[in-house]
Amino acid sequence: MLTLASKLKRDDGLKGSRTAATASDSTRRVSVRDKLLVKEVAELEANLPCTCKVHFPDPNKLHCFQLTVTPDEGYYQGGKFQFETEVPDAYNMVPPKVKCLTKIWHPNITETGEICLRMSFGD
């Protein structure tokens, strides 16, 4: 299946072979993922509840971030749970990879921290 991100990469590869290989990183085309994330990160930060904090280890890489959740009610109240998120290049066609860094028992989180993001919809 051809996605927009893969088409852009292929076009960049063809264009790069025809032009000088001296182009710097700052002049490269911005990926579709990065264009989407600029808007979505602003929305994320504006809409996060007070029990959640987002942290970008490298502010220039919006596709890699950490989320800390400190529930103030329910079974997990008082806990502090850290998640690591990586958004792939094919984002919007491929979901982000999320990993729980905190040891926790939850039906959707494996012992190694992988998170099941599958959603099933009615037939």
The answer for residues whose C-beta is within 8 angstroms of residue 89's C-beta and 6 or more apart is 5, 9, 31, 33
Q: Show me where the domains of the chain are located.
A: 30-117
Q: What are phi and psi of 79, to 5 degrees?
A: -85, 165
pTM: 0.69
Name the burial class of residue 60, with classes exposed (0-12), middle (13-18) and buried (19+) by CB atoms within 10 angstroms of its CB. Answer: exposed
The catalytically annotated residue of 50, 52, 100, 116 is 116
pLDDT of residue 65: 95
Query: Does the annotation mark 116 as catalytic?
Result: yes
Task: Tell me: pLDDT of 24 over 60.
Answer: no
Of the candidates 6, 61, 16, 17, which has an alpha carbon nearest to the alpha carbon of residue 38?
A: 61
CATH superfamily label, 30-117: Ubiquitin Conjugating Enzyme (3.10.110.10)
- Mean model confidence pLDDT for the chain: 81
Inter-residue contact 8 to 63 (CB < 8 Å): no
Task: Tell me: pLDDT of 122 over 80.
Answer: no
Reported as half-sphere exposure (CB side, CA atoms, 13 A), residue 30 has a value of 10
**Which of the pair, 13 or 33, is modelled with greater confidence?**
33
